[in-house]
Amino acid sequence: MEIDFMDSQIKGVSTGTTILAVTFNGGVIIGSDSRASIGGYYVSSKTINKLIQVHDRIFCCIAGSLADAQAVTKAAKFQISFHSIQMESPPLVKAAASVLKELCYNNKEELQAGFITAGWDRKKGPQVYTVALGGMLLSQPFTIGGSGSTYIYGYADAKYKPDMSREECLQFATNALALAMGRDNVSGGVAHLVVITEEGVEHVVIPGDKLPKFHDE
């Protein structure tokens, strides 16, 4: 099978994807789908992990070229770890996001990867940062990203409320992912969600058939 890479903007395996992160009262939920594709028509992995733990209470989710994203998060993990050891305290979420931003901005010609960093720290509590393709860093109460996010901007804007409870937030994130996966061909598989709070980190995996179904499914 000779795969023609020319028609896709991303060479190699890409995570055409849906990723999101939402703060709630006491924590933050970060979520993604699990599909990796080549050229927009071949699913190279149904179970790729896009939620990467860069520190105890900080996760980041990846979008764009899988190779670029994995290389950047590897470097970022090392730098954040080192920073945390030097400071003798857990890193701030902003610090982790800045590390990713520096890597993306300084290498913007070679890289094609975007990130959402979310976590909890003692200073500011739950936070969400988005690092876009060219290296822009932005802090928001919630954010969505990836190719599938275009289909759920309306839903997210309408349904998000500040200070939700954990269950409400989980439902919001699950619905958003299910809607995006339903419309975007390069998002799919299972829904991975991670709930980060002061107490700890909890993984929730929702297989495709257990996702909420909407009117036409």
What residues make contact with other proteins under the rule CB under 8 A?
Answer: 1-2, 9, 11-13, 36, 45, 47-48, 65-68, 70-72, 74-75, 103, 106-112, 133-134
Smallest separation, CB 130 to other proteins (Å)? 14
Question: In angstroms, how far is the first alpha carbon of the chain from the final one?
Answer: 33
Residue with tokens 């989980």: 170
Q: Phi and psi dihedrals of 87, rounded to 5?
A: -80, -10
Tell me whether residue 53 or residue 197 sits nearer to other proteins (CB atom). 53
Tell me whether residue 70 or residue 139 sits nearer to other proteins (CB atom). 70
**28 CB contacts (<8 Å, ≥6 apart)?**
21, 22, 118, 119, 120, 126, 127, 128, 195, 196
The verdict on whether 117 is a catalytic residue reads no
Smallest separation, CB 142 to other proteins (Å)? 22
Rounded-to-integer distance, Cα 127 and Cα 209, Å:
31
Tell me whether residue 29 or residue 137 sits nearer to other proteins (CB atom). 137
Smallest separation, CB 114 to other proteins (Å)? 9
Catalytic positions:
17
